[in-house]
Amino acid sequence: MRHRGVRQWELFSAWCGLALLSLVSCDSRAEAAVQPMAFSHAVHAEQDTTCVDCHIGSEEGQYATIPTLNTCLLCHEEPQGEDVNEPLVREYAERDEPIPWVQVNRVVGHVYFSHAPHVVRGELDCKVCHGEMTTIDEPVTESQIDWMTMDACMDCHTKEKVSNDCLLCHK
């Protein structure tokens, strides 16, 4: 009998841990990030750029990556347009400081996600998961993947006939 009580207590503690974990992650998702500069995807989509030109990891690796200053300087070494934010790019470069973008889309720590298999082998367009970015005029400040609960990941996997083995997503 005593043994069984301990087991139940362990289960209860584990459940509390998970409940707490999801509360904490909900909290951090609700906060809007403050971005360092008014960057417009819409303006840059007009410059004949593709998503992968700037998010260079999205076809090769786990992380799509947020571009570094070197990518920006391919064009902004010289002034471009009239916007007041534009000279900031060179100011960061002169100070030799990275632009401190805040990453807003993030899965919780115990989940494994990788871009390359979804984008290349799965042939999924970025907008399936991130929405239409080419019309967005302001930096992203809130998660666009809040809808990606375990059920949502699994629903698409079922539809696409991809494995839903626990260890696929929880390594």
Q: What is the dihedral of CA 25, 135, 66, 142, to 10 degrees?
A: -20
Residues in CB range of 113: below 8 A, 6 or more apart: 62, 107, 169
* Binder of ligand HEC out of 12, 17, 28, 106 (CB under 6 A): 106
Six token digits for residue 95:
């100070």
* Binder of ligand HEC out of 38, 56, 60, 93 (CB under 6 A): 38
| Nearer to ligand HEC (CB atom), residue 9 or residue 32 | 32
| Nearer to ligand HEC (CB atom), residue 5 or residue 94 | 94
Is residue 35 part of the contact set for ligand HEC (CB under 6 A)? Answer: yes
CB of 9 to ligand HEC, least distance (A): 19
Nearest in space to 168 (alpha carbons), one of 114, 121, 123, 122: 114
| Nearer to ligand HEC (CB atom), residue 10 or residue 53 | 53
Q: How far apart are CA 55 and CA 169, in angstroms?
A: 23
Is residue 5 part of the contact set for ligand HEC (CB under 6 A)? Answer: no
